């Protein structure tokens, strides 16, 4: 299954200067619990902002550039189709973790969204999710975390 996982502010912000514009340890702990043992897919900007492989997960960097440097154990794939083929052979859940262009590239194949609602408006953000990114999804569950964070889990509607 391909799952988008994102933390989003009240004004749909997801980033500022290539990084998260907030720090909530509960969100980071939830992200880790949810993704460990699975596969994470990120763009090269997200890869550079994290700066290392996320432990306990297979890390895939999506990049059309052949010049991206990654350590052993990190896979570089060049297209959404390459990730889908990987998914068909691997069997673990694939979590799309950003950034905005990678979320956009996977928009038509994401089966489920896990959305952490950040209780802030980030006025100086420079990266946003489209306001309609959940239009084809229905809510299934919600989890309340500490720090007034709420996680919504949504599945793609199958008409």
What's 15's domain CATH number?
3.40.430.10
Task: Specify burial of residue 113 (Cβ count, 10 A radius: 0-12, 13-18, 19+).
Answer: buried
Mean pLDDT of 16-24: 93
Q: Is residue 148 part of a domain?
A: no
Mean pLDDT of 15-24: 93
The pair phi, psi for residue 139, each rounded to 5°, is -70, 140
Q: Are 65 and 49 a contacting pair, CB within 8 Å? A: no
Q: Is residue 147 part of a domain?
A: no
Q: Is residue 138 part of a domain?
A: no
What's residue 73's pLDDT? 85
Q: Are 156 and 133 a contacting pair, CB within 8 Å? A: no
What's residue 66's pLDDT? 73
What's residue 69's pLDDT? 84
State how far Cα 77 lies from the chain centre: 16
Q: Is residue 93 part of a domain?
A: yes
Q: Is residue 144 part of a domain?
A: no
| Residue closest to 43 by CA, chosen among 59, 31, 57, 55 | 59
What's residue 140's pLDDT? 80
* Structural domain containing residue 119: 2-129
Long-range contacts of 156-159 (CB under 8 A, 24+ apart): 156/110, 156/111, 156/112
Q: Quote the radius of gyration of the chain (alpha carbons, Å).
A: 15
Per-residue confidence at 65, pLDDT binned at 50, 70, 90?
Answer: confident
What's residue 5's pLDDT? 98
Tens of pLDDT along 95-123?
A: 999 999 999 999 999 999 999 999 999 99
Q: How many domains are contained in the chain? A: 1
């Amino acid at each position: 299954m391909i799952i988008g996982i994102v933390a989003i502010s009240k004004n749909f912000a997801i980033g500022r200067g290539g990084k998260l514009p907030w720090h909530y340890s509960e969100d980071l702990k939830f992200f880790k619990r949810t993704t460990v043992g699975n596969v994470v897919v990120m763009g090269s900007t997200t890869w550079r902002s994290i700066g290392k492989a996320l432990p306990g997960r297979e890390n895939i960097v999506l990049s059309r550039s052949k010049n991206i440097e990654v350590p052993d154990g990190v896979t570089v794939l060049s297209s959404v189709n390459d990730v889908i083929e990987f998914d068909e052979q691997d069997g673990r859940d694939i979590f799309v973790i950003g950034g905005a262009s990678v979320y956009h590239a996977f928009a038509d194949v994401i089966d489920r969204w896990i959305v952490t609602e950040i209780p802030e408006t980030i006025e100086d953000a420079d990266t946003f999710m489209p306001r309609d990114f959940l239009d084809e999804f229905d809510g299934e569950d919600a989890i309340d975390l500490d720090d007034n964070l709420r996680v919504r889990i949504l599945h793609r509607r199958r008409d």
